[in-house]
């Protein structure tokens, strides 16, 4: 592997950071002095420039031999302690190149969209400062050439996510949602950092201590057979990494924060909670694919968790009424598919789905934002309906993205999801169960997405008169990104048309140098085109069934949804509507448990620890009292005794000083006489 | 000067000394004490000169007598100054009154 050194990569993350610094530090002044258009110019320009630079990087990579596609920009030595060496260095290989194109491309569109969506907000500058800071952190995460730099970005996106979910901080519910996202993410981050420690420590023990990805990959072989507490190090470390991924990418059991994250402004939901940040976990596993390939046990866990998440999130999505919550559960579900792909070693398919999903889910979120914008802030789909004619651009783009998400043939979602399902079935790590769960999830996806489309855009409007009067199509700055994303939702799929459909899968070929290990697995997979056709048809039929259910229930009203909801006493409906009571269970077990442990610790601290401390203090006071007694009585007594005796003596001696000069003279004369007489005799 | 021997001088000197000592011991008046001291000094002077006259060739005695006279003058000056100070502080030159440093 040859490394091409370049010096422009640093500007890809640094330009958004610059924008964030200018808007974050001087934004309020700029907004007052030069207006909101100055703020948006400062915020959008760096992201667009970063996109241009990303395109340059892509073109340069494309000009290199596939196995030498590696650009490095080493900025400075960051940490140099013993064997731990880390640089602030940015690298681009085919995988991170895909990611930065998505982040800066879709991120740029969402920035433009936000200029329209957030236009009425007073804290316009703050929003864009956060958005740029997020872009910086996400690009650092992706471009960092070591686990440590990746972790910096990892934490940075979490922080920005927290700040943006609670952007409208005057509402308690928003700040609570922000806190929840941050705290749940911390649990995952803890796993991630343990994984970093374990990898570095194990490699160090083998004499190759490093946190740089290419070194880890080079020396990964030395981890083979190494164990800790009887467990293979690789399995343990990859499990830790996966815990980190479940937090950031909203997988069971840490997905609970993502639906609540919808409290943030809608462009944030689109950028952070659909297109980019939540895919960080997928990216991380894809980046460390060489480690995961060495740990088949972890891969099984990843695939299992992914499939379970894909299925359960889809079931919850079926009954939600908030337009953004449906999309949130859909995101959780689609991320589950990506993890299934990771788990069966189909890394390229997972990353492909990541890219297509970024397009159509961003489009859906921005579309829902446009709807909310037009509905004067209403998010409940039960109060919508009939928006088709009033918001045509939003409707058509939303419909296209929905078709893509539900895997309608010839859209991008069809190619990417079908690729995952096929790999889940045919890969050596895959099995029929994963495929069946995935297909069921796809059916439900079609159902809840078309339910959403029908409830929102078709039928009679159910909004109250005042709101209905105000419904209007969004400004061009909002519809333009929608159109671009909708077109992307269709076209991006053609980068990765599977081979059996005659596409040659250029996307997979592009990523091939990164996923050498996965490719070996794929080579073992059977290539039965007939079987592939059959499975594909089944999944299309299941999705069509989902569409039909939604059509019958929510368009034709052939059967009342309420009647369905009352099936079996309404228990299944309530279970789904309340999201399996997972939040309540977490509240009862985790939060209450933590509070209980805190109460016990508090009691222990107050009663025992303080008791010991206070006891020692009292003992010291008592001893000091005794010591004081000895000092006052014995030591001072001796000193005073000597002083008093001296004083007494002095009192007596001074009587000699009579003050009578004649008396002194008599004494003198007498004394002299005596001395003289003594001399004489 | 025939018939007057050293003994006569010594007797006179002794008498003067005894008178001086008596004055010093019995007077309460500070100036009186100073006078007594003068007598004692002059008794010593008489001795010096008598011994010098009858004792030998040297004039050491006379020289010492001159020194003593000079010293007596200085002593009288300082003594009277002290007496003046006492008088200013105590409105009296009675030595029994100056007993502030008594025990």
Residue B103 in domain: no
**In chain A, which residues touch B (CB < 8 A)?**
654-662, 665-666, 669
For residue B96, the chain A residues in CB contact (below 8 A) are: 660-662
Residue B49 in domain: yes
Instruction: Check whether A560 has a pLDDT greater than 80.
Output: no
Instruction: Check whether A74 has a pLDDT greater than 60.
Output: yes
Tell me the shortest Cα–Cα distance from A634 to chain B, in angstroms: 33
Question: If phi over 0 gives left and psi between -120 and 50 gives alpha, with beta otherwise, what is residue A420?
Answer: alpha
Q: What is the pLDDT of residues A409-430, one digit of tens each?
A: 888 888 888 889 888 888 888 8
pLDDT value for A558: 61
Closest CA to B6 of B56, B79, B68: B56
Q: Say how many domains are in chain B.
A: 1
Residue B1 in domain: no
Q: For testing the chain B interface, which of A649, A657, A658, A661 should be mutated: the one with the most B CBs within 10 Å?
A: A661
Tell me the shortest Cα–Cα distance from A667 to chain B, in angstroms: 10
In the predicted model, what is the mean pLDDT of residues A462-483?
Answer: 83
Residue B101 in domain: no
DSSP string, A105-141: HHHHHHHHHHHHHTTT-TTHHHHHHHHHHHHHHHHHH
Q: How far is CA A666 from CA A227, A654, A658, A659, B22, in A?
A: 111, 18, 12, 13, 10
In the predicted model, what is the mean pLDDT of residues A481-494?
Answer: 90
Q: For testing the chain A interface, which of B32, B86, B95 should be mutated: the one with the most A CBs within 10 Å?
A: B95
Q: Which of B26, B96, B103 sits opposite A654 (nearest CB)?
A: B103
Contact A662 B96 (CB under 8 A): yes
Q: Which of A655, A659, A662 sits opposite B101 (nearest CB)?
A: A659
Q: How far is CA A576 from CA A304, A572, A581, in A?
A: 21, 6, 8
Q: In this complex, is the C-beta atom of B96 within 8 Å of any C-beta atom belonging to chain A?
A: yes
Contact A669 B96 (CB under 8 A): no
Residue B86 in domain: yes
CB A416 within 8 A of CB A519: no
Q: Of A411-425, A462-476, B20-34, give the lowest mean pLDDT range.
A: A462-476
pLDDT value for A500: 67
Instruction: Check whether A192 has a pLDDT greater than 90.
Output: yes
CB A484 within 8 A of CB A398: no
Q: What is the pLDDT of residues B74-92, one digit of tens each?
A: 999 999 999 999 899 888 8
Tell me the shortest Cα–Cα distance from A668 to chain B, in angstroms: 10
Question: Pick the residue with more confidence: A521 or A54?
Answer: A54
For residue A666, the chain B residues in CB contact (below 8 A) are: 25
**Which tokens hold the place of A222?**
């030395």
Q: In this complex, is the C-beta atom of B82 within 8 Å of any C-beta atom belonging to chain A?
A: no
Contact B25 A658 (CB under 8 A): no
- Chain B, window 15-74: residues with a beta carbon less than 8 angstroms from a chain A beta carbon: 21, 24-28, 33
Q: How far is CA A370 from CA A96, A222, A448, A539, B101, in A?
A: 31, 53, 20, 31, 109
Contact B26 A660 (CB under 8 A): no
The CATH number given to whatever domain includes residue B11 is: 1.10.287.3510
For residue A660, the chain B residues in CB contact (below 8 A) are: 95-96, 99
Instruction: Check whether A222 has a pLDDT greater than 80.
Output: yes
Tell me the shortest Cα–Cα distance from B29 to chain A, in angstroms: 10
Q: For testing the chain B interface, which of A665, A668, A672 should be mutated: the one with the most B CBs within 10 Å?
A: A665
Among chain B residues, CA nearest to A660:
B96
CB A350 within 8 A of CB A245: no
pLDDT value for A1: 67
**Which residues form the domain of B18?**
6-90
Among chain A residues, CA nearest to B98:
A659
- Which pLDDT band, with edges at 50, 70 and 90, does A512 fall under? confident
For residue B29, the chain A residues in CB contact (below 8 A) are: none
pLDDT value for A68: 84
For residue B98, the chain A residues in CB contact (below 8 A) are: 659, 661
Contact A662 B26 (CB under 8 A): yes
Contact A669 B33 (CB under 8 A): no
- Which pLDDT band, with edges at 50, 70 and 90, does A162 fall under? very high
Q: Of A133-142, A240-249, A503-512, A524-533, give the lowest mean pLDDT range.
A: A524-533
In this structure, how many other beta carbons lie within 10 angstroms of the beta carbon of residue A472? 12
Residue B42 in domain: yes
Instruction: Check whether A119 has a pLDDT greater than 90.
Output: no
Instruction: Check whether A305 has a pLDDT greater than 90.
Output: yes
pLDDT value for A517: 55
In the predicted model, what is the mean pLDDT of residues A395-403?
Answer: 93
Q: How far is CA A168 from CA A107, A177, A262, A278, A448, in A?
A: 21, 11, 12, 21, 29
Question: Pick the residue with more confidence: A430 or A240?
Answer: A240
In the predicted model, what is the mean pLDDT of residues A457-464?
Answer: 81
Share of chain A above pLDDT 70, in %: 95
Q: Which of B24, B96, B100 sits opposite A660 (nearest CB)?
A: B96
Contact A665 B100 (CB under 8 A): no
Q: How far apart are the first and last CA of chain A?
A: 127
Residue partners of A380: CB distance under 8 A and separation at least 6: A321, A322, A323
Name the residue ranges covered by the structural domains of chain A.
Answer: 295-577, 582-655
ipTM of the complex as predicted: 0.81
**Which tokens hold the place of A299?**
């891969």
């Amino acid at each position: 592997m040859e490394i091409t050194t370049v010096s422009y990569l640093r500007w890809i993350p640094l330009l958004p950071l610059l924008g964030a610094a200018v808007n974050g530090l001087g934004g309020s002044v700029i907004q007052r002095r030069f207006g909101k258009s100055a703020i948006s110019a400062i915020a959008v320009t760096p992201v667009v420039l970063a996109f241009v630079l990303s395109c340059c990087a892509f073109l340069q990579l494309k000009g290199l031999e596939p196995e030498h596609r590696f650009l490095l920009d080493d900025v400075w030595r960051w940490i140099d302690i013993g064997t731990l060496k880390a640089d602030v260095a940015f690298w681009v290989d085919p995988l991170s190149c895909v990611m930065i194109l998505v982040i800066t491309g879709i991120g740029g569109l969402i920035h433009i969209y936000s200029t329209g969506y957030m236009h009425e907000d007073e804290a316009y500058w703050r929003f864009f400062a956060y958005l740029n800071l997020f872009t910086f952190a996400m690009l650092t995460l992706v471009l960092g050439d070591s686990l440590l730099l990746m972790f910096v970005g990892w934490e940075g996106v979490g922080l920005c996510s927290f700040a943006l979910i609670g952007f409208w901080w005057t509402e308690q519910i928003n700040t609570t949602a922000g806190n929840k996202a941050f705290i749940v993410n911390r649990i995952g981050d803890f796993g991630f950092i343990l994984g970093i420690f374990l990898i570095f420590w194990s490699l160090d023990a083998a004499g190759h201590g490093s946190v740089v990805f290419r070194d880890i990959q080079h020396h990964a072989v030395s981890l083979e057979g190494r164990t800790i507490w009887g467990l293979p190090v690789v399995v343990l470390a990859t499990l830790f990494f996966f815990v980190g991924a479940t937090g950031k990418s909203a997988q069971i059991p840490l997905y609970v924060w993502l639906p609540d994250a919808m409290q943030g402004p809608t462009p944030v939901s689109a950028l952070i909670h659909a297109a980019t940040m939540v895919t960080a976990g997928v990216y991380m596993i894809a980046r460390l694919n060489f480690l995961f390939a060495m740990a088949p046990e972890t891969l099984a866990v990843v695939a299992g968790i992914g499939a379970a998440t894909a299925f359960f999130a889809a079931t919850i999505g079926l009954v939600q009424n908030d337009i953004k919550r449906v999309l949130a559960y859909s995101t959780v579900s689609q991320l589950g598919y990506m993890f299934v792909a990771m788990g069966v070693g189909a890394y390229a398919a997972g990353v492909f789905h990541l890219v297509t999903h970024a397009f159509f889910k961003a489009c859906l979120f921005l579309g829902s934002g446009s709807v909310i914008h037009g509905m004067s802030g209403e998010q409940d789909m039960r109060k919508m309906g009939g928006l088709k004619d009033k918001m045509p651009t939003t409707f058509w783009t939303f419909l296209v993205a929905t078709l893509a998400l539900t895997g309608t043939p010839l859209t991008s979602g069809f190619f990417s999801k079908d690729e995952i399902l096929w790999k889940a079935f045919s890969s050596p790590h895959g099995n029929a169960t994963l495929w069946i769960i995935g297909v069921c999830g796809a059916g439900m996806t079609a159902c809840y997405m078309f339910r959403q489309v029908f409830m929102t855009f078709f039928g009679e409007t159910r909004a109250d008169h005042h709101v209905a009067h105000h419904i209007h199509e969004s400004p061009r700055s909002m519809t333009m990104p929608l159109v671009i994303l909708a077109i992307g939702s269709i076209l991006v799929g053609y980068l990765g048309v599977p081979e059996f459909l005659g596409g040659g899968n250029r996307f997979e070929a592009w990523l091939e140098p990164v996923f050498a290990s996965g490719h070996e697995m794929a080579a073992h997979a059977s290539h039965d085109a007939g079987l592939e056709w059959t499975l594909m048809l089944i999944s299309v039929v299941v999705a069509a069934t989902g569409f039909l259910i939604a059509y019958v229930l929510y368009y034709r009203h052939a059967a009342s949804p309420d009647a369905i909801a009352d099936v079996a006493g309404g228990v299944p409906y309530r279970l789904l509507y309340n999201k399996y009571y997972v939040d309540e269970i977490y509240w009862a077990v985790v939060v209450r448990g933590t509070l209980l442990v805190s109460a016990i610790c508090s009691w222990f601290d107050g009663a025992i620890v303080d008791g010991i401390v206070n006891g020692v203090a009292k003992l010291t006071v008592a001893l000091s009292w005794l010591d004081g007694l000895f000092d006052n009585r014995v030591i001072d007594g001796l000193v005073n005794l000597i002083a008093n005796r001296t004083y007494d003596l002095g009192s007596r001696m001074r009587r000699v000083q009579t003050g009578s000069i004649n008396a002194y003279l008599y004494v003198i004369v007498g004394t002299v006489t005596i001395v003289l007489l003594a001399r004489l005799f | 000067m025939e018939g007057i021997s050293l003994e006569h001088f010594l007797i006179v000197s002794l008498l003067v000394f005894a008178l001086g000592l008596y004055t010093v011991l019995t007077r309460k008046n500070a100036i009186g004490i100073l006078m007594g001291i003068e007598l004692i000094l002059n008794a010593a002077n008489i001795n010096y000169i008598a011994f010098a006259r009858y004792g030998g060739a040297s004039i050491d005695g006379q020289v010492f007598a001159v020194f003593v006279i000079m010293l007596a003058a200085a002593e009288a000056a300082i003594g009277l100054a002290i007496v003046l100070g006492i008088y200013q502080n105590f409105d009296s030159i009675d030595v029994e009154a100056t007993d502030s440093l008594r025990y």
